[in-house]
Structure 1
Amino acid sequence: MTPNFTLTEITGLILEEQTELSLADLCRACAAQTDMIVELVNEGVLTPEGSQPEQWHFTGVHMQRARVALRLQHDLGVNLAGAALALELLDELDTLRAQLHRLTGG
């Protein structure tokens, strides 16, 4: 007897630093309301290109940062300022790890 297998196709999009997302794109990608993304920009968590929300362009890096900030708020109850601080500390940790990696040659 031959087993029955169902093949499920998974499609996705790899977003890099060069990828441009509008505010609406970022909201969809993060399942967030526009006002929440605007708050992340106002708090300095996200720094889009463009002077007005209608002109903002975000990258895949922005999307990742927004998702982390939103998860911190939703899952852990961290306020926006706390989420911004946590992201800043994570960035610093990444920088220190990269410096250590260069120094140790590993």
Structure 2
Amino acid sequence: MAKDTETTAPCEEWYTLSLREVTCSFGVDAHVILEIMDEGIISSQKNEQNEFYFGSDDIRRIRTVLQLHRDLGVNFAGAALALELMHEIEQLKRLLHSSHH
């Protein structure tokens, strides 16, 4: 999975990527990204040409979902739940950290 991180991490803070760019970057077919969208994991926008494009948060979420799927065999519904739980953990950590300062 290092390829995905190396390919997208440097640019994902300020770029939006098209569906084609995302599929090429992660080495997956468009239907995989559309399945991830169907699970509600990412919410894409459409540009003037009616093409999907994805922002930095979507790209990070796609990378995480694909890592869970490829490395651990987690299906996309399970990955959605894992992302939600990871987000809650981060919120709790911030809350705990802010209450100690």
Which TM-score bucket, shorter chain as reference? 0.7 to 0.9
Of 55, 69, 72 in structure 1, the residue corresponding to residue 68 of structure 2 is 72
TM-score, normalised by the number of residues in structure 2: 0.78
Residues in 2 aligned to 1:32 and 1:67: alpha-carbon distance in whole angstroms = 11
**How many residues end up aligned between the 2 structures?**
93
Matched letter for residue 39 of structure 2: E
Question: In 2, are the aligned partners of 1:20 and 1:60 still within 8 Å (CA)?
Answer: yes
Runs (4+) off by over 6 Å: none
Question: In 2, are the aligned partners of 1:29 and 1:63 still within 8 Å (CA)?
Answer: no
Q: Where in structure 1 are there 5+ consecutive unaligned residues? A: 1-10
Of 80, 86, 90 in structure 2, the residue corresponding to residue 84 of structure 1 is 80
Residues in 1 aligned to 2:51 and 2:88: alpha-carbon distance in whole angstroms = 29
Of 36, 49, 55 in structure 1, the residue corresponding to residue 32 of structure 2 is 36
How far is the alpha carbon of 1:57 from its aligned partner? 1.9
Residues in 1 aligned to 2:90 and 2:53: alpha-carbon distance in whole angstroms = 24
TM-score, normalised by the number of residues in structure 1: 0.75
**SS at 2:17 equivalent:** coil
**Bigger radius of gyration, 1 or 2?**
1
Matched letter for residue 11 of structure 2: I
Of Structure 1 and Structure 2, which has the larger fraction of its residues in helix? 2
How far is the alpha carbon of 1:55 from its aligned partner? 2.5
Q: Where in structure 2 are there 5+ consecutive unaligned residues? A: 1-6
CA RMSD of aligned residues (A): 2.3
- Percent of paired sites with the same residue: 35
1:7 aligned residue:
none
Of Structure 1 and Structure 2, which has the larger fraction of its residues in strand? 2
